[in-house]
Amino acid sequence: MTVLASDGAALAARSTRAWETDIVATIGGTPLVALDRLFPPERFQVYAKCERFNPGGSIKDRAAKSMIEHAIRTGKLVPGVSTVVESSSGNLGIALAQLCNFYRLNLICVVDPRTTAQNAAIMRAYGARVEVVERDPATGEFLPARINRVRALLESVPDAYWPNQYANEYNARAHHSTMREICEALPGGPDYLFLAAGTCGTLRGCAEFIRDNGLDTRVVAVDAVGSVIFGPPEPWERSHRRTIPGHGAAVVPPLLQPGLADRVLKVTDFDCVRGCRQLLAQESILAGGSSGAVMAALLSSSSWIEPGATCVAVLPDGGDRYLDTIYSDQWVEAHFQHLEHPQSHDDQERSAS
């Protein structure tokens, strides 16, 4: 284990010996797996970039590493002294908790009640302080309430620093590596890249890499019904209350720029549940809610994806963080009882026998 200097030279102190790697060096390099059962390759080929294989369990490890290491390099964060304050729906909080513990930084993570007890417990295990806020009374949304609390903490906590994932360029830059890895596996890049949009860090970083390298890959951004990222929701969307964290946002992220996505597809929470359960049933991949969103978008796109095309779906996290929601038949029934029930594990066993 690398010994950290307390004068802010933490980055320089990290080992560069390839054979003696530390946990932060294991971020990235996630596997790309074929989804041939869900998408028969005779039509078009789909690969999944499985981001749960990051040490913190999600794609947000990349963003946390990029933002924290940049802040240390530029003196905004001083190991042993500074406190990181951030708003997160869960995954960035866990990723930051891991990074802050590694670099001897304090962390206060502002979450909302959609953050599971397990996620909060993981953050605390890494040494973070977790604060839970309720919906903003003016908008009925969680995000403005979380941001208000972050601003208050920045005023009151000494040496506090807010990475601000929604506006931090280093959140986006982290995903140059995501796209580079995809292109190393599929030279020239895939024809289509399907990804979930939240802060738009993944979208912006991958789209920048595609542009800068002159690739022909077209980007399909998957957003939540009711989200405002790519424009005001249609009137019918307003009754859809989002319960699955990760993709979608109640504000337009400053990281978003015009033209990053070639196509935007919006999915409901129920689509996410169905997508997750199909991925589990067919491919034995236990994935998180936004992965279900990406699967639902891909499954609804078979009419326009040309035969022989290659698609990559970015799966941001694993399903073990959603056992009490997406993978709980009780939760699904309570939230979507007016809709057709997605295939449960019991149903799968029944239909297979």
Among 61, 271, 283, 317, binds ligand PMP (CB under 6 A): 317
From the list 152-160, 196-204, 259-267, 337-345, the region that binds ligand PMP by CB under 6 A is 196-204
Q: Convert 62-101 to b/e letters by CB count within 10 Å (16 or more is b).
A: bbbbbbbbbbbeeebbbbeebbbbbbbbbbbbbbbbbbbb
Assess contact for 309 and 45: CB atoms under 8 A.
yes
Size of the site for ligand PMP (CB under 6 A): 18
Judged by beta carbon, residue 60 or residue 335, the one nearer ligand PMP is 60
Contact track, ligand PMP, 78-107, x by CB under 6 A:
-----------x-x----------------
Closest CA to 63 of 170, 194, 180, 143: 170
Query: Which of 292, 316, 318, 319 contacts ligand PMP by CB under 6 A?
Result: 316
Binding mask 35-74 for ligand PMP (x = CB under 6 A): -----------------------x-x--------------
Residue 349 CA to chain centroid, in angstroms? 31
CB of 249 to ligand PMP, least distance (A): 8
- Under 8 Å between Cβ of 46 and 39: yes
CB 22 within 8 A of CB 15: yes
| CA-to-CA dists, residue 324 to 91, 110, 124, 244, 249, angstroms | 16, 21, 20, 12, 22
* 217-246 positions binding ligand PMP, by CB under 6 A: 246
Nearest CB to ligand PMP, comparing residues 54 and 278: 54
CB nearer to ligand PMP: pick between 10 and 97: 97
DSSP 3-state of 4: coil
- 288, 292, 318, 319: which one contacts ligand PMP (CB under 6 A)? 288
Q: Mark 244-263 with x for binding to ligand PMP (rule: CB under 6 A) and - for no binding.
A: --xx----------------
CA distances from 322 to 199, 244, 306 (A): 20, 9, 33
Distance (Å, whole) CA 103 – CA 82: 10
Is 202 a residue that touches ligand PMP (CB under 6 A)?
yes
Give me 66's structure tokens: 């990029």
Give the residues lining the site for ligand PMP (CB under 6 A). 58, 60, 89, 91, 196-203, 246-247, 288, 290, 316-317
